[in-house]
Structure 1
Amino acid sequence: MNDLNQKPRLLSFLQEELKIPSASINLALNDPQLSYGSFPMLLWRYGLISLSQLDLIYDWLDEPGHSCNF
């Protein structure tokens, strides 16, 4: 399991801006199919975020300096 105490900026954005619970984030982080860049899609596929939240995540990732590294 990933340590959310040392979370990348994406995880901070998910928790602080979109108010996604850490339990939901951990569920997707522990998926065996997790690969670079697939994390937002896993959240959506599990039904943990809405399509509009998925759009917000990708908009955020498109901003300079943001990434989906874990």
Structure 2
Amino acid sequence: MKDTVVKSNRGNTQLIHFLQEELDISATSIAFALRHSQQDSGPLPMILWQYGLVSIEQLEQIFDWLEG
């Protein structure tokens, strides 16, 4: 279980870096989405989109990045 959490945290760190550097998503928006993803138990990209913090095109870019 601990290994899964560590991998998840590493993945989130890389994802957050991608969101900030490549998509220019603000740290405030990411923090907001992270809080809601923990409360709603949803994936971070979907929370960002659900609250209008990324466009559908950006969401597609995120999923492409995650697949890569």
Q: Classify the TM-score, shorter chain.
A: 0.7 to 0.9
Matched AA of 1:15: Q
Report 1 or 2 for greater relative contact order, CA contacts < 8 Å, sequence distance ≥ 6.
1
- Write out per-residue CA displacement over residues 24-53 of structure 1, whole angstroms, 9 at most, x where no aligned residue: 000010011134xx1100000000000000
Q: Please list every run of 5 or more consecutive structure 1 residues that lacks an aligned counterpart in the other structure.
A: 1-6, 64-70
Give the structure-2-normalised TM-score.
0.77
Number of aligned residues: 55
Give the structure-1-normalised TM-score.
0.74
Q: Please list every run of 5 or more consecutive structure 2 residues that lacks an aligned counterpart in the other structure.
A: 1-11
Instruction: Determine the structure 2 residue equivalent to 1:22.
Output: 27
For the residues of structure 2 that align with 1:24 and 1:47, how far apart are their CA atoms?
Answer: 10
- Higher gyration radius (CA): 2
For the residues of structure 1 that align with 2:52 and 2:41, how far apart are their CA atoms?
Answer: 16
Instruction: Determine the structure 2 residue equivalent to 1:3.
Output: none
Q: Is the 8 A contact 1:28 1:34 kept in 2?
A: no
Matched AA of 2:48: L
Runs of 4+ in 1 over 3 A off after TM superposition: none
